[in-house]
Every structure is written in structure tokens, then in C-alpha cells.
Structure 1
């Protein structure tokens, strides 16, 4: 237990100035978040998780996730239902987030190895153009992204190592209409990136995690890389110079993450996950920037 506490304390005390896009809830990351990729012996699993993140301009994001899983020996189907509350210097919003449905196939590669393939979709069930006083709020406040997305992924477990790849793609433009001209007299609104007509394109994800297993508890630490496939220039308002500038940006995010899972009983388990960015996307109009994110949850077998 002392080793577990050391890992958690190290993550929580990591430098707070590290700012970038965390793995947030765009879709593919949460879909691949379950690192238990060995063939399942529990058919029905229900989960309740509470996510917290800090986004653009210190906006607080609370995301409550209700999940349901059906697992046969090699096949599983999962549904994730999010409820989102955000609060920042322009106001607050709350509502149903974007629902995700995914299916997976797990195959054994031997006593200490397994592979899992996942395919899913994210539906635009969440509001993506919530307003305050008739003016659209930035994307970081919105419960949804306003797009239908394809989600693909695969995980490989080799003994105590897990390697993951993921892909998320949408052709849609967001339904968000946040424009600076609607907030011309409020400098704090100009610090957010405009998002009206934004198209995210494709995200590629790669991850590696190392597990240390105890009797009823396992802890892990790892790295996750997310690359956005889009134009590397962005039109951004410089508040100090009071003008718009074309700015080149880095499109790659690298996150340091760690967590633990504890089997409370044969029918219940808790998990704690924390993520901090090491390398940032410079400017993200999609509202997915996170300077810190953490999640705590419970899963029950039925």
C-alpha cells in the first residue's frame, strides 16, 4: 500500500505549470481507458466514474460517466453516458454529453499475452452551442462536441506491459458558433480561440503502460501520445497587441499518466486515474485543452 501512495502523491505533486491537451473526453481515449484486456469471466458490468479537469482559462470541467458493459468470453459491448458541468469566467453550462458505443474482440496470445480490437461511434447527443445572454460560449464550456465520430483502437498486453493505438475521425463541422465579435467588449472572452465552423479532422493516439500487481491491487504508470492531423496554423487574437495573428502550433500532445485499481470484493472494484501533460498542443479551439485531469470510479459486476 505504501508503494501505491507514493505513486499517487508523485502524480498529484507534479509541476502545475505543465499545460496541454489532456486525454479529455473526445472519445477514443475513454474508449481505450479499460486496460483489462484479458478474456472476461464477468458478463455484466456497470460503472460510475467522476472526472475532473482544468481547461482553457482555468475553466473547471466535471464529467460524470455512467457505463454499461456486456462481455462474453471474447466479445464485449460498452455504452458510456456522460453528464457534463462546466464553470469558468464566462459562466457555466450543464447537460448530457456525447454518448459513445463500442464493441470489442479479445483474443489470447498465450499465458501472458492478449490482444483486443475495438470499434465504436460517438454521437452528437450533447449540446455544443450553449449560450449566455444569447451569445455562444467557447467549446470548453460545451457538454458536447457537435460531431459524429468514428472510433477505432487496439490494445496489446505482454505480461505487465500494455500497448495501445487509437484513431478518431469526423467529417463534421462543429455546431458551435463562438465568435469574438459577439463578445467585443469583454477582453476575457477574447482569450478563448474562436470555434465557429471548426472541423477537428483526425486524432491518432499511441500509449504504453507498465503495471505492478499486488494481491487485490494493481498500479500503473505510462505515457500517451495524441497527434492531431490538421493545418498547423491557427488564427488567434493577441489581447496585448489587440490584433489577430496567424500562429504556427505544435499538433502533438504527450501525457504522463498513472493510476490504481483495487478489487474491493469479487463483485466490486474502484479505480483512480490521473493525467498531466508533458508536451502541449499550443492552441486548441476544440476546448479539449487540459492542464490537469483526474478520475475516480467504481465498477460492479452483475
Structure 2
């Protein structure tokens, strides 16, 4: 068996980037993925590595399972875990569970539409502590909200276009972090944090090598945060977080290698072009890389 060696060099600019591993909207395109139709079951095991604000570092593995019922309908479930390490200490916890259904319409003139409906459920109320001290959202494994996903997809030749909304429906967030007591200005106050919705647009182009072993998928993501987030200040008054709304633009490169007809490896790297002024939700990353293994049966 031949060994595969991947050497990757990632340029990271000095500005912090907006990661999407916590909120989830950037990864729901898995629900649109056209799996090998000769297999009905697909399992994916992955890990996301990153560094965030201040000295926070992350390892965030997840497990994903997709069941294809027929050529049109499939169902995906996903469970995430997160380990954050920094000057506050180390915190590890399950994050969120995703349940996503996807319907693919029949292809017509090389165009194929898809529709997606899904939910995200948190395993925590986003108030994990270390040694009794409250932690900012950068250390939390979930945002503590039950979210609704609505999406659509258009595939045309080598192009894929996604549009999606992530809407917090139930806010279970009980975070109690105040920057006044955190002995640092690196993280904003997020006591009883309330997060606004996100809208996403993505364009992906697929390039396959002649032997079809490698597939390269450069893509660009536009994520618009549809309002200013808020928290409850020390006086018990709700306060908007100025600059927390607005546009993020990420460039992403996905490289996949087909080990066999049933299994593949995938590497994903991203860097930002535009970021929001303030990211209180803890999604800030200066480096993000993801490695996935997929098996179909």
C-alpha cells in the first residue's frame, strides 16, 4: 500500500479570522454533498485545529453519519467536541448535536437543486467554568442556542452554490463572564449572551486530477451577521455589542484524496479577507485547519 504524504504551507495574515466551527453554518454544506450513490451509509471522523484570541488553542473533533434513503433524500447527524487551552486553563466538553435533512431534485440540463432543513442542539448552556471562574465564549464548546438551518444548493457542471440561514430559535445561554473580573481586555463581556442570526453564501469550484484520486475545491464564503449581539451588564441592563454585526469573507481550499472507492481523506484550510469589528461569540481564529476521514458502505 502506497503511503500518502501531504505537506501543507498555510499563510496566515496578522489579523484574526472568523472561524465557524462553533456556530455551525459553515459546515452544513455536508448536507449538500453528493455522496457515492452506490453506498447508503457514510461515516466521517474529523478534527479541527486552531488558535484564537490571546493564547487560546483548540482541538475540536467531531463524528458525522449520513444515511441515504434514496437518490433524493438523505439524513445527516453530527456530534462535536471541543478542547480549549489558554491562560484561563484547559476546558474539554461536548459541543453540539446536528440533525440535518437534505432533498435533492432531479438533474435538468446539468443543473441540480437541493434543499436543506436542520437543527442544532447544544450539550451545554455555554457557562463552563475552570476552578469556579467564569469563562468567555472563546473557551466554551457551544453557544448554548437551539438553532434552525434553512438552505438551498445549486450544482452546475463543476460549480456548487450554497445559500443558508442559521436562526437561533431558543436561547439557553447562561454565560456569566464579565471582562471587568477577567483581569484581561482580550475578551468582551458575554453575561447572558444573546446572538443574532447568520446568512451564508458560498461558491465552490471542483477540480479533479486525470486519475480522479485528488479533488481540489477552492471556495469563497460570505457570512453576514444579521444584527448586533447583546449581553446583560453589571447593572442588569441589556447592552448591544457595537460592531458585532456585519460581513465576514473567508477563502477556503479543500483537498481530498480517494484512498479507495469506499474511503477518502480530506484537508481543509481557510483564511479571511474581511472580518467583523468585534466577534464576542468566541469564533475568532488566527489559524484553522481541518482533517477528515470518510468511509462509505
| TM-score of the superposed pair, with normalisation by structure 1 | 0.86
Matches for 1:52-131 after TM superposition, within 5 Å:
52-71=49-68, 72-110=70-108, 112-126=110-124, 128-131=126-129
In the other structure, the counterpart of 2:236 is: none
Q: In the alignment, what sits opposite 2:161?
A: 163
1:95 offset after TM fit, Å? 1.2
Assess if the C-alpha contact under 8 Å between 1:170 and 1:200 holds in 2. yes
How far residue 34 of structure 1 moved from its aligned partner, in angstroms, is 5.8
Q: Find out whether 1:206 has 2:205 as its counterpart.
A: no
1:177 matched to 2:172 = no
Deviations 1:253-302 (A, max 9, x none): 00010011121111111111111111011111111112221110111112
Report what 1:256 is aligned to: 251
Deviation at 1:61, TM superposition (A): 1.5
Rounded to whole Å, the distance in 2 between the matches of 1:225 and 1:300 is 30
The unaligned stretches of length 5 or more in structure 1 are 237-244
Distance 1:60 1:176, change over 3 A: same
Which of 124, 139, 142 aligns to 2:140? It is 142
C-alpha displacement of 1:213? 1.2
CA shift digits 1:146-177 (9 cap, x unpaired): 11110111221111111111100114262211
The answer for unaligned runs of 5 or more in structure 2 is 234-239
> Cα deviations across residues 190-228 of structure 1 (Å, max 9, x unaligned)?
320111122112100001111111222210112101000
C-alpha deviations, 1:118-138, integer Å up to 9, x for none? Answer: 111000113511112212101
What is the root-mean-square deviation of aligned Cα atoms in Å?
2.6
Higher relative helix content: 1
The answer to whether the 8 A contact 1:152-1:166 is kept is: yes
The answer as to whether partners of 1:234 and 1:283 remain within 8 angstroms in 2 is no
* Distance in 1 of aligned mates of 2:12 and 2:149: 32
1:274 aligns with 2:289: no
Aligned runs of 1:4-19 on 2, under 5 Å? 9=8, 12-19=9-16
**8 A contact 1:20–1:281 mirrored in 2:** no
TM-score with structure 2 setting the length:
0.87
State the distance in 2 between where 1:87 and 1:279 align: 26
> Does 2:291 correspond to 1:292?
no
1:54 touches 1:293 (CA, 8 Å); kept in 2?
Answer: yes
